[in-house]
Structure 1
Amino acid sequence: MRRGPLVSLNGSRSAADGAAVPVSPEELAESALAAVAAGAGEVLVHPRTPCGRESLSPRVVGPALEALRAAGLGVPLAVAASIGSESDPAARLARVRSWTVLPDRAAVDFAEPGAGVLAEALLGRGVAVDAVVRLGGPAGPDPLARFLAWPVREPRRVRLTAELAAADPGLVAGLRGLPPVEVVLYGREAAAWPVLRLAARCGTGVRTGVGDVLRLPDGRPARSNAELVAAATAASR
């Protein structure tokens, strides 16, 4: 039986984006607990310093994960290991290697330099990898090609997380021939709900949360991650 949606608790957003965006470890734990109660099967977080800056420092990642686990969520926890937290690939790699508290998974953006090396380092530490790619957007570096060029030696511990610019079945068809890895689809803002419904039809995993979209399918502002998860679960049936 497929697990519930992956919920992106905060993404690149800050408290300035509204009360629905959790920032502190306590807010993340409260939001995650409600989202799991609403049906979320996994949690993705962008840890932040007290001043709101994204960070991969063990002094930031550790407390966030500890607060989430102390809440008794009972679902896998993922951390975004992205350029938003550390722009230098070597420094990002060093940060990940210095973690003292490990997530279950980490999201690695294959549009960013050093993604393959970072993913290998995470796998070496026992952390599963979500390989993030974007499909259908502006021309530029092809993250899917980078992913395909990366030797997936442990397919059970690697997942492809694809952001679709639009709910285009052709984009999903282009994923045929991938290594035997699980696939999660998501969209952002106006694309979020059409892509989620497409993912449900295709039988892939789905992702939602205020990190991706701030409005419900009917256009109303979402009051919480839990509200988005409940709507996603209903739309996936």
Structure 2
Amino acid sequence: MRIVACLNGDRRPGAHPALPVSVDQLVTDAHAVVAAGATAVHIHPRDPRGAESLEPQVVAALMERMRADGPDVPVSLTTALSAESDPWRRYDLVHRWPSPALPDSVSVNLHEPGSVDLVQLLRDRRVAVEAGVWTVDAARILVATGPEVAAVLVEPTQVAVEDARRNTEAIARVLDRGRVRVPRMLHGVDATAWPVLEQAVEEGLDIRIGLEDTMRLPDGTEAHDNAALVAHAVSLTRARA
């Protein structure tokens, strides 16, 4: 089972006292979550102002430091439109990411415009793609287009837990019918983060947790940092082993 620590997401700087934004903070946090049991990290790169960015120089600065000083685990980056709202400019930015500083994988949300072309670009650049599937329609896009992806990230965004579970089940049915056999990861967000993580553990799926997904522990108290969230997730996986 992969345990991915999603370190910052699109949360604004200051949303949580321990939210890592700068390269130094992200490298330090990556070491902490791996020590807590994470097997990979997922990062939204930030520019010097703390805003999400897919600019080549921002990605290069992050990845060079992660390779030099970070833990020896796979690094995934986002390509969400929250980081670059213009799909065509996003494509151009990713195309210009320097080869020596490419991440191990990236997530591509299939419901976003330009996603299929972006997947192909990344495959041409030999970067593994994790397909973000938020909806049944996104699952159908994956089945219909058949891009080569390394994993599927099932990401229900509904606020209510039961609604998120129904969406997850509907997505799974489409993927199963379409014979999508790659590994699946399942995660929720905020109020659904822990219930959906527990569901993923029960189903033997890969999991992720971190301040991108929730800033609280299951009892509702604020988590001290990403490492605290990962440590609790690891304890849940061991309890069900």
Q: What TM-score comes out, normalization by structure 2 length?
A: 0.89
Select the residue among 50, 60, 63 that pairs with 1:62.
60
- Mapping of residues 38-187 of structure 1, within 5 Å: 38-100=36-98, 101-135=101-135, 142-152=137-147, 154=148, 157-164=149-156, 165=158, 166-168=164-166, 170-171=169-170, 173-174=172-173, 175-177=175-177, 178-187=179-188
Deviations 1:1-44, CA, capped at 9 Å, x for gaps: x33x1111100012220212100000000111100110111111
CA-atom RMSD, angstroms?
A: 1.6
Q: How much identity, in percent, do the aligned residues show?
A: 40
SS of the aligned residue for 1:67 comes to helix
Match of 1:10 in 2: 8
- The runs of at least 4 consecutive aligned structure 1 residues that moved more than 6 Å come to none
Structure 1 unpaired stretches of 5+: 137-141
How far did 1:95 drift? 0.5
Aligned to 2:190: 189
Kept in 1, the 8 Å contact 2:30–2:70? The answer is: no
Alpha-carbon distance, 1:223 to partner: 1.1
Task: Give the structure 1 partner of residue 161 of structure 2.
Answer: none
Instruction: Tell me, yes or no, if structure 1 residue 24 matches structure 2 residue 31.
Output: no
Which residue identity does 1:158 align to in structure 2? A
Q: Is the 1:33–1:71 contact (alpha carbons within 8 Å) kept by the matching residues of 2?
A: no
Task: Tell me how far 1:171 sits from its aligned partner.
Answer: 4.0
Moved more, 200-209 or 169-178: 169-178
For 1:118, the aligned partner's letter is L
Give the whole-Å Cα distance in 1 for the aligned partners of 2:135 and 2:111: 11
How far has the Cα of 1:56 moved from its partner? Answer: 0.6
In 1, Cα distance between equivalents of 2:202 and 2:190 = 20
User: SS in structure 2 opposite 1:43?
Assistant: strand
**How far apart are 1:86 and its partner, in Å?**
1.1
Partners of 1:119 and 1:128 in 2: CA distance? 9
Report the Cα distance in structure 1 between the residues aligned to 2:49 and 2:16, rounded to whole angstroms.
Answer: 16
Distance 2:184 2:28 in 1: 28
Structure 1: which amino acid aligns with 2:131?
Answer: A
Deviation of the 1:71 alpha carbon: 2.3
Secondary structure in 2 matching 1:17: coil
What letter corresponds to residue 65 of structure 1 in structure 2?
M
Which deviates the most, 102-111 or 64-73?
64-73
Whose helix proportion is higher, 1 or 2? 2
Secondary structure (helix, strand or coil) at the match of 1:13 reads coil
Match of 1:208 in 2: 209
Give the CA deviation at 1:180: 1.5
Alpha-carbon distance, 1:51 to partner? 0.7
Aligned counterparts of 1:231 and 1:35: Cα–Cα separation in 2:
11
AA matched with 1:71: D
Q: 2:47 & 2:70 partners in 1: Cα distance?
A: 23
Tell me if structure 2 keeps the 8 A contact 1:11–1:45.
yes
SS in structure 1 opposite 2:141?
Answer: helix
Look up the equivalent residue of 1:27 and give its one-letter code.
Q
Provide Cα deviations, 1:171-209, integer angstroms capped at 9, x if missing partner: 464242342111000000010001001001111100110
